[in-house]
Structure formats: C-alpha cells, structure tokens
C-alpha cells in the first residue's frame, strides 16, 4: 500500500469547522440525531435493548458466581448475601441509572456520545494549553482502554454461557473450551458480511433474554420472598461495617454487574437519549435485578448452588435451551463491542490519532455499519489468546473490570468539565457532582487494582500500547506537518511567478491534496519540475474534520477562486462522517467549479521518511511513527478516489 505525506494529503485533523452547535442545555433533551427519520420510541427502545444493553445484560451469568467463588470470595451467610445484593442494586442506581442515564447522556455532541465525542465537546470549553492537552490525553487514554475491554468481553461472555453445559452434565467439561473457540471464530469470521441483517433480530432476541432473566428471577424469589428487602441500603452499610476489608475486596466482583453500563453513552447517537432511558428503566434494570434477587434467594436456599447460581435457577429440562439462548445473547453482546471498536477506530482516523486503515462499508443504507479487517483480526487474536490462556470465565473475571472502572473515572472527570463550563452549573453543584460520582468510581477502581497481578495487567497493557500508538501518530503527524510547512513556498508567491514565466497549460483539472492551503504542495512542484506543464485548472484541496459528529451537506465544501486558474477547496466532515471526495466535489458546482471525473487527475505525494539525529520525539517513538507511516493505508482508498485517476509522485523527507 502506498503512503502519503500527511502535509500533502488531507488526512483529517480535528478542527473547529463549520456547523459548530450551541452548548447543550442540561435541562433539555438530546437534540434530534442527524441519522435520518426516527422510528417510534418503542421500536427504538427495543433496538437499543439489543445493541446498547447486550454487555450489561449478560452480567448475571457470572457476577454473583464470582462474588462468592472468586479469589476474594465472600463467605456465604444470609447477612452477606443481603449485603451483596444491596451493593449490586445501589451500584446499578448510582453508576448506571444516575451517572450515565440521567447525567452523562445529556452531554451529547450533536446527538452523539462516546468518549471521543465527549472529549471533542470538552475541548471546546478550554483554550489551547496545558489543560486542553491534559483533557485530550485523558480522552485518548479512555478510548485506548476500550480496546482492552473489547477483547475481554467476548471471551468472558461466551465462555460463561457455554459453561452452562457443565451444569447439565460434567461430561461436557472437556468440550467447553473448544466450543467457545468455535463460537468466537465464527463470530469474527462473519464480520466481513456486515451486521445489518443480523442486527434486525438483536433487539427482539435480547428483549426475550431480559424477559427470561426476569422470569427466572421471580422463580428464585418465590423460594425466599423476603429477599426483596435487599434493596434497603442499610444491608450494604452493615456489610461494610461488619467486614470492611471483605466488603472493599468484594467491589472487585460487584463491578462486574455494571460493566457495559458505559456502552449506553457510546451508542446514544444511534437511538437517542429517550429510547435508551426508556429501555433501561422499564425493561433492563428491573429484569437484571430480579435475576440477581432470584440467584441470591437460591443461594440462601441451598448454599452449594453458588457454584453457578444462574444456571441452577433454570429448570433441568430447560438447561440446554438456556445455554443456546445465553450463547446467542453473549454473541450479541460481543457484536456490540466489536462494532464499537470499528467505530472508535474510524473516529480516531478522522481526528488524526490513527493512520488510515482499510475500511469496508457493509451497508449501502446505514453509514455506521463498517468493517475494519486489521482491527477484526487483532481482536480475534487477542480473544483467542485470552480464552486459551485463562481457560475459564472465573479466571477471566480476574482481568475484567479495571479498564472499565478507569474509563468510568475518565468519563466523570470529562463530564465535570461539561457541567461546569457548558451547562453553567455553580461551583457547589458541580463539585457535588464530581465528589459523589468520583468517590464511587474510585471505590470500584481501587478494589479492582488487586486484580492486576491475577490478569488485570492485560487490559492495562493493551490500553497503554494503543495509547502509545495513538499519541505517537498524532505527535508524529504534527511534527511532519510543521517540518514540511517550514520548507514550503507560499502559494501567493508561486502564483505570481507563474505570470512572469508561465509554463505550458494542458486541458483538464488537477487536484492536489494538502493539509495547508497557504503553501504549494510538493506534489505540484514535482509535477511542474518533471512534466513542465500545468492543467488549465489547478485545485488545492484539503479535508478538515470538525469537532462535531456530522457536518450538514450544505456546509460540506467551500471554494475560493484565485488567479491563474487556481482554486482552493475545503471539504468538511464530522468525525463520524464517511469521507467520499468524488461525492463531495460534486457540490462544488454550486460555486461555479464543475468536475468531470474522467478529466480530473488527483496528485498524491508518495513520501519516504528519514529519521534525523536530533528530532522532537524519543528515537524509539520516531522509528515507531515511521513504521506506522509506511504501513498506512492509501489515501485514494480512504477518500474513495477512483484509482485510475490517481497520480503518485515520490520524494524523501527528513522527520
């Protein structure tokens, strides 16, 4: 694959482009999403149940089992069971219901959510400087942690579902691992086909799943109806008062009940705030907690049931169908995480934090449905390694939670900036928001730190590696752009020189891709030196990515006509838009600049980077950037430029 000089290739860098929306009022609902016509709230709520709540919806498979069986197992006594169930309830209330559903979903970026969207929103509120740099680093690190979480979720979810076969008969024990691997291989292999047709059944299937969770929970509650008293927060307080160390350590397992809660914010742009809120309070939250209560009642009735309280709630005759249904639910949960990794990668590419990667659009109608092969195979390799290395959901639980709690802490800090700067909250109100939610986040995070040596190092290591790659690419691109601009001839001077010594002109249009419209692209100079001609029309084109998810078509392009047949064209995208330059250039006709694609040539710089002795980065990071640069995807492919209209001109640049 060819590589293109970032300074002569409009690889997007975040800019405060057109269409910047006003600050979102915290007391109004999320503005309408730009994704098109909205279905009814009920239909969207059902769809949200399938996509948004798949991860947290499979948590009952392993949460209580880990609380009472894990490395820091809580002794099984009635008081402890009530205390744990109370902790689970109030964790769901504080973290998921209050923090995410009520507060953070209001911090939308033109209807879109997720940590990259939140970071872009936050950066509008602070001037460039150290504070802005620190906030951007927090956001990028939170995004990097998502990949570590995204690797563990499919592994632990599918393994915990298939382990239900052991409940049916111990004879299946040797086959649990192979079956889980086959399911995971199949899941990743079908990604290239897209998830549009499969996605239509996600909502109804997960709705059935939550109904079954509630039904099983009620069946268990009938054993000890008084178990509903666990909603009383005094049980949790008493649990901590009686056994403070055990209580604190138990948070490392209780956190499994809320993993996936952060996903509802990331997927907000697909469904809107109201359907997500509707689905949570009317379906998901009641079903989840009913199931936890049922498992707790079952443990009280027969303490030996704690080996797998979820499946032991199921009638014997229905264990096999339940394993099949649980496996399907975990596939859906895993699919949401995998698709999220693709979307996050695309946002990182758009915002200039990642090199271009081959991206396949799997739907002609839904722009959000994409497939990134390199990310898919990276995730598959990591998931297989996790399953083979840890071999059980209980062992994987030791690695799960620390990345999630760190991400939740970062969300709280970024949201604090939003409520203070954009929503105009007073110091006391904003401080209360920060203290309450950050205290809860720190409690869970501190408890998960004891998991680091037992496997928690894995998501942290992945997060640090991804963070290093993202920041190295961003820093390297900035250095390279600065280096090239310092050696670039001003465009006005170049055009004036054309009048003094005009070169021959040929018919057609030449388009030179660049990130700096005030200078002369190197590809233009090379073409003039070697071919000694210019086209009748010369277009300098740059692509900018705004700090909003989508830019309206009416603001897609801006055209400026210069002397001597030169034009400057600026193409604007949001960080969730899909770049398509031929389509965007059609809009230039409104400004008097019409393109005939078969008479237009796109000139790209094919650059070779050379490391300097004294650079602006550590030597190892410089070499890493050069390696990433050499393996970046083609600009022609990324911007959907017809290959037969592309001309590449090579040069060598010292970094």
- 276 shares its domain with 327: yes
Whether 21 is in a domain gets the answer no
- 470 shares its domain with 494: no
Q: What are the CB-based long-range contacts (under 8 Å, 24+) for 299-303?
A: 299/64, 299/68, 299/76, 299/81, 300/78, 300/81, 300/223, 300/224, 300/227, 301/223, 301/224, 303/76
Buried (b) or exposed (e) across 264-288, using 16+ Cβ within 10 A?
bbbbbbbbbbbbbbbbbeebbbebb
Return the structure tokens found at 548: 């909003």
pLDDT of residue 19: 35
pLDDT at 17 over 50: no
C-alpha span between 143 and 350 (Å, rounded) = 14
CATH code at position 355: 1.20.1740.10
Return the structure tokens found at 181: 């691997």
| Helix (H/G/I), strand (E/B), else coil: 117 | helix
pLDDT at 148 over 80: yes
pLDDT of residue 13: 42
Of the ranges 198-202, 208-212, 449-453, 622-626, which one carries the lowest mean pLDDT score? 198-202
C-alpha span between 342 and 372 (Å, rounded) = 6
CA proximity to 596, closest of 504, 484, 497, 509:
509
- 443 shares its domain with 518: no
Q: Which residues pair with 610 in a beta bridge?
A: 654
- 506 shares its domain with 591: yes
- 442 shares its domain with 334: yes
pLDDT at 24 over 50: no
Report residue 164's pLDDT band, with 50, 70 and 90 as the boundaries: confident
- 439 shares its domain with 586: no
Each residue of 61-93: pLDDT tens digit?
A: 989 998 998 778 899 999 999 999 999 999 999
Q: Containing domain of residue 571, as a range?
A: 490-654
Return the structure tokens found at 576: 């969730």
pLDDT of residue 369: 65
| Helix (H/G/I), strand (E/B), else coil: 456 | helix
What single string gives the DSSP state of each residue in 290-314? Answer: HHHHHHHHHHHH-GGGGGSHHHHTS
**Contact criterion met (CB below 8 Å) for 460 and 402:** yes
Report residue 31's pLDDT band, with 50, 70 and 90 as the boundaries: very low
- 469 shares its domain with 510: no
Place of tokens 């410089």: 622
User: Average pLDDT of 396-406?
Assistant: 85
- 331 shares its domain with 374: yes
With the C-alpha atoms ordered 230, 233, 236, 238, is the resulting torsion angle positive or negative? negative
Q: Looking at the whole model, is its pTM more than 0.85?
A: no
Each residue of 607-637: pLDDT tens digit?
A: 777 776 556 778 888 888 888 888 887 888 8
pLDDT at 470 over 90: yes
C-alpha angle 498-512-120 in degrees, rounded to nearest 5:
130
User: Average pLDDT of 104-115?
Assistant: 78
C-alpha span between 429 and 355 (Å, rounded) = 41
Report residue 82 CA to chain centroid gap.
36
| Helix (H/G/I), strand (E/B), else coil: 609 | strand
- 453 shares its domain with 500: no
pLDDT of residue 236: 95
Q: Give the start-end residues of each E strand in 519-575.
A: 534-546, 557-561, 566-573
> Phi and psi of 121, rounded to 5°?
-65, -45
Return the structure tokens found at 527: 């073409």
Between the CA of residue 578 and those of 120, 301, 368, 375, 640, what are the distances in Å? 18, 56, 9, 18, 10
pLDDT of residue 12: 44
Return the structure tokens found at 534: 């210019």
HEC states along 178-200? HHHHHHHHHHHHHHHHCCHHHHH
Whether 584 is in a domain gets the answer yes
| Helix (H/G/I), strand (E/B), else coil: 389 | helix
- Into how many domains does the chain fold? 2
Each residue of 508-549: pLDDT tens digit?
A: 899 998 888 888 888 888 888 888 888 989 999 999 888 777
- 549 shares its domain with 447: no
CA proximity to 436, closest of 422, 452, 460, 419:
419
Whether 579 is in a domain gets the answer yes
pLDDT of residue 23: 36
pLDDT of residue 288: 96
Task: Please identify, among 448, 475, 502, the residue that sits at the C-terminal boundary of a domain.
Answer: 475
Each residue of 283-300: pLDDT tens digit?
A: 999 999 999 999 999 999
Between the CA of residue 246 and those of 48, 62, 78, what are the distances in Å? 36, 19, 15
- 509 shares its domain with 468: no
Q: What is the mean pLDDT of the chain?
A: 83
- 166 shares its domain with 226: yes
pLDDT at 274 over 90: no
pLDDT of residue 1: 35
pLDDT of residue 18: 33
User: Average pLDDT of 234-261?
Assistant: 92
C-alpha span between 293 and 630 (Å, rounded) = 55
Place of tokens 């071919």: 531
Whether 556 is in a domain gets the answer yes
Percent of the chain surpassing pLDDT 70? 90
pLDDT at 16 over 50: no
> Phi and psi of 240, rounded to 5°?
-70, -40
């Amino acid at each position: 694959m060819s590589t293109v000089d970032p300074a002569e290739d409009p690889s997007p860098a975040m800019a405060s482009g057109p269409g910047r929306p006003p600050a979102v009022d915290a007391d109004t609902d999320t503005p309408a999403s730009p994704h098109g016509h909205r279905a009814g709230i009920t239909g969207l709520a059902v769809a949200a149940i399938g996509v948004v709540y798949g991860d947290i919806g499979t948590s009952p498979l392993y949460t209580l089992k880990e609380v009472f069986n894990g490395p820091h197992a809580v002794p099984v006594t009635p008081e402890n069971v009530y205390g744990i169930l109370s902790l689970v309830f109030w964790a769901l209330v504080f973290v998921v219901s209050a923090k995410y559903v009520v507060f953070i979903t209001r911090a939308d970026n033109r209807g879109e959510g997720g940590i990259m969207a939140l970071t872009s929103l936050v950066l509008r509120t602070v001037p460039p400087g150290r504070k802005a740099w620190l906030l951007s680093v927090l956001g990028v690190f939170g995004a990097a942690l998502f990949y570590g979480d995204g690797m563990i979720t499919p592994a632990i979810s599918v393994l915990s579902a298939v382990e239900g076969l052991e409940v049916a008969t111990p004879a299946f024990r040797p086959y649990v691992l192979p079956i889980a691997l086959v399911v995971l291989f199949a899941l990743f292999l079908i990604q290239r086909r897209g998830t549009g047709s499969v996605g239509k059944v996600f909502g109804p299937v997960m709705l059935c799943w939550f109904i079954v969770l509630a039904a099983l929970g009620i069946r268990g509650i009938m054993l000890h109806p008084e178990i509903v008293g666990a909603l009383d927060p005094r049980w949790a307080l008493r649990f901590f008062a009686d056994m403070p160390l055990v209580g604190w350590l138990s948070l490392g397992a209780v956190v499994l009940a809320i993993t996936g809660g952060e996903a509802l914010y990331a997927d907000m742009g697909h469904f809107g705030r109201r359907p997500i809120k509707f689905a949570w309070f009317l379906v998901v939250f009641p079903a989840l907690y009913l199931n936890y209560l049922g498992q707790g009642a079952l443990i009280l009735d027969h303490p030996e049931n704690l080996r797998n309280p979820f499946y032991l709630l199921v009638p014997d005759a229905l264990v096999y169908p339940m394993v099949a249904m649980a496996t399907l639910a975990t596939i859906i949960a895993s699919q949401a995480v995998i698709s999220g990794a693709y979307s996050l990668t695309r946002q990182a590419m758009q915002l200039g934090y990642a090199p271009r990667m081959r991206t396949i659009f799997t739907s002609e109608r839904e722009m959000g449905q994409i497939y990134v092969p390199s990310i898919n195979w990276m995730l598959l390799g990591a998931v297989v390694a996790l399953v083979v290395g840890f071999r059980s959901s209980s062992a994987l639980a030791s690695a799960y939670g620390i990345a999630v709690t760190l991400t939740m802490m970062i969300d709280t800090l970024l949201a604090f900036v939003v409520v203070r700067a954009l929503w105009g909250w007073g110091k006391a109100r904003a401080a209360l928001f920060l203290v309450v939610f950050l205290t809860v986040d720190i409690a869970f995070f501190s408890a998960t730190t004891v998991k680091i040596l037992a496997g928690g190092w894995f998501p942290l290591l992945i997060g640090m590696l991804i963070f290093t790659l993202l920041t190295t690419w961003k820093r390297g691109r900035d250095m390279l752009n600065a280096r090239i601009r310092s050696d670039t001839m001003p465009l006005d001077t170049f055009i004036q020189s054309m009048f003094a010594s005009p070169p021959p002109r040929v018919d057609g249009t030449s388009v030179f891709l660049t990130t700096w419209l005030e200078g002369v692209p190197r590809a233009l100079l090379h073409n003039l030196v070697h071919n000694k001609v210019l086209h009748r029309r010369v277009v300098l084109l740059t692509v900018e990515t705004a700090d909003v998810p989508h830019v309206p078509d009416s603001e897609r392009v801006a055209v400026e006509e210069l002397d001597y047949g030169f034009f400057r064209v600026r193409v604007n995208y949001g960080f969730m838009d899909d770049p398509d330059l031929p389509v965007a250039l059609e809009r230039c006709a409104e400004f008097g600049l019409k393109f005939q694609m078969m008479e237009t040539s796109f000139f790209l710089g094919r650059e070779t980077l050379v490391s300097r002795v004294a650079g602006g980065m550590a030597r190892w990071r410089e070499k890493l950037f050069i390696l990433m640069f050499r393996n970046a995807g083609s600009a022609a492919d990324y911007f959907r430029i017809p290959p037969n209209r592309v001309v590449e001109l090579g040069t060598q640049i010292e970094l």
